[in-house]
Amino acid sequence: MPAVAVVGMQWGDEGKGKVIDLLSESAGHIARAQGGNNAGHTVVVSDKEYRFHLLPSGILYPHTKCYIGGGTVIDLKSLLGELGTLRRYGIDFKNRLFISPYAHVIFPYHRLLDELSETVHSIGTTKRGIGPCYIDKAARVGLRIADLIHQDTFADKLAKTLHLKNRELVKMYGQPPLDIEDVLTEYRTYAAEILPFIAPVEEMLYRASQNGEKILYEGAQGSLLDVTFGTYPYVTSSCTIAGGIPSGLGVGPANINRVVGVAKAYTTRVGNGPFATELSHDEIQFFPDHIAAREIGVTTGRKRRLGWFDVPMLRHSIHLNGADSLAIMKLDILDELDELKICVGYQIGSQKIRNFPATIEELAAVQPIYETLDGWKSSIGAIRSYGALPRAARAYVRRIEELCEVDISLISVGPRRDQTLWLDRFFGEELK
């Protein structure tokens, strides 16, 4: 496993946290390239659940070094809260967590503007200030970790930006202005707390790569949320595909040797936007409830929308990412269904759609073309080998593999580490 990227193939929430955690056992370095605390990765170890929003999921292994890259946007209060949780669990991260000085910082006005903009044009954001922070980055008025830790110039830079933001808050939304002294006091405290973690992440990853050390690149969100190639405008504000990892971490694209795409055995979505295979009112009655299915958002607490497995969408994501293999997650959630549907194509009227739609209007108009397979009607959570799966479960997995034309490398049959089936003919010891 010289260098592997793990990316989401759907609309996020695919189970990347578990895959990252599994592969971190044999990796020395785990790096996060983009997004912010709008991500939510869950890892279950010995029935103890850990939830991460900014920290790389591999932080639970004491031998790993973890990196937050320059392409991320960081809510320092959220990050420090996660570090506090690790301390309470007795997890030592001293000399193991490194933050790039190039990462941009989320401020109170970002969160406030995010929330206010949702009242005008709702796209279902997490209201964490991610989009407004990336807007400031592109507009060249953002503030970075490097600015925060240089206190001699930080106050002046913040004053200039806050003047612009207060004008926006007052004139566009009728909100009171934020007080610069309050913001300065809060963020000077944060600066002192995160100073020990600031490091030349880009140089460190380059050296690790040159030395042939095992690096795991951790994607956040999902390919269909990519700001360029996703279901725009119902997307996030960063590049969520494998190609965004080099730019978000400052590493050369040739340094990524393999791309593992993560997908659920069905499809989910949080927030607004078209969803071709979304379950009907009658169909959803046959699925486990959202709590039993673990389908409540880690970040937002919202119930996820549920749908059948969507092959056209997966093929689109596979092409965007150059995925070498797939990790199929949460197969166990389908245990009690009498039959399962797989969307094998789209049509509008009688016309079949050749490519994944580029506009939400076209995607909203498509009608899925389904194949129906038998369910297995038995619990698979205790199964530990692929061959022991019920025949119908194996048929479902193999049909997905055939239609997507990419090997399946692992199957998850539950949230714990041990509830994983390694298909070694694909993954092998190179990745495991």
The residues that are catalytic are 13, 41
Return d(Cα 25, Cα 375) in angstroms, integer: 33
Query: Which of 251, 260, 261 is closest to 213 using CA atoms?
Result: 251
Evaluated on CA atoms 422, 427, 428, 429, the torsion sign reads negative
**407 membership: H or E segment, kind and range:** strand 407-412
Q: Which residues pair with 412 in a beta bridge?
A: 420
Return d(Cα 31, Cα 43) in angstroms, integer: 17
Cα radius of gyration (the chain): 22
Strands (E), 339-398: 339-348, 351-353, 367-374
First to last CA, the chain: 8
Query: Cα–chain-centroid distance for residue 247?
Result: 17
Return d(Cα 243, Cα 226) in angstroms, integer: 11
Take residue 356 and report the two structure tokens written for it. 């994944």
Query: Which of 18, 187, 48, 50 is closest to 109 using CA atoms?
Result: 187
Cβ neighbors of 384 (< 8 A, separation 6 or more) are 418, 421
Query: Which of 381, 412, 429, 430 is closest to 21 using CA atoms?
Result: 412
Entry field: residues in the chain: 432
